[in-house]
Amino acid sequence: MISRYFSSVDFDVALFHPNQRNISALDILLRVHLNPRAPANPAANEDSLVADGERYKFRRWTVGEWGIFQAEFKRNVEQYFNWPTMGLWLLPTPMDRLPDWQTEYGEFISPQPLSPRFRPVVQCGLSVTLVPTKAQSHVSFDVLRLFDNAPDFRSFVRMKRNKRDTGVLTNRDTSRQAPSPKRKQQNVVSHEVGHALGLEHSNQNDPKCTRNENICYGKPGTPQHRNLMGEGNEITTANAIPWVRAIMRLTPSLSWYPTDQLPKEMHFLM
């Protein structure tokens, strides 16, 4: 049963009633349109484009390849933005000056909790729905099927707050291949979906980050560089912004503390 729900042009959100451990699920519901980029000439099987001064050759997708890519996209993104890979939690804090805080706080306590030791906690998650048209989506990606000998393409998404995001991916972005000088060991599709959720690059506030320079991803060896929104795969409380923004819309009488550490009394139950 859904406790609360809201829809926006950025993403939809469902907040579920707490279970007997006082854990409530907060799921971002993201509608994604994936468009298999085809050659401009309908009779051709291959084409090319120029980006950042480099020419990239791509070919038409086969039905089988495209089906696999869609399944891998959904699997990879949902794996990274759900327990146990992500593990982001929100802890409610009453705002005593607001009259409705007790009622809202009570919604996060099960009517039949297993133990009074279980304090309310919200578990963050994400669900991807692939939709057939751009008009139905929160974010839309053109996807290139690069030739095997083509250089690595720098995938991207154009972030547009309160508007549909658009971007470009390639068939390599769900790959588990080892890193090369131009390929980072990162779940690229999850990085780009992070942008669609409103997350900037991990070192975006560095004064030297003015456009999309390498410094925007953090210096090698730093937490910013290891983060999913840098060049790594780590997810920390810095990545909780979309869920905090969502739950503040749903529970205006409470404040929320994001954490990547599950309360100790919950550990033996997970």
Contact 117, 230 (CB under 8 A): no
Instruction: State the pLDDT confidence band at 59, using cuts at 50, 70 and 90.
Output: very high
pLDDT above 80: residue 141: yes
Q: What integer best gives the mean pLDDT of the chain?
A: 90
Q: Name, in order, each residue with C-beta under 8 angstroms of 16's C-beta and a sequence gap of 6 or more.
A: 1, 2, 3, 24, 25, 26, 27
Structure confidence by residue, pLDDT tens digits, 173-219: 997 554 455 555 788 999 999 999 999 999 999 999 988 888 999 99
Q: Which two tokens stand for residue 11?
A: 């993403």
- Considering the entire predicted model, what is its pTM? 0.91
Q: What is the pLDDT of residue 5?
A: 95
Give the H/E segment covering residue 146: strand 139-146
Torsion angle of the four alpha carbons 218, 220, 226, 228, in this order, in degrees rounded to the nearest 10? 50
pLDDT above 70: residue 270: no
Strand partners, 259: 89
User: Cα 196 to the chain's mean position, in Å?
Assistant: 7
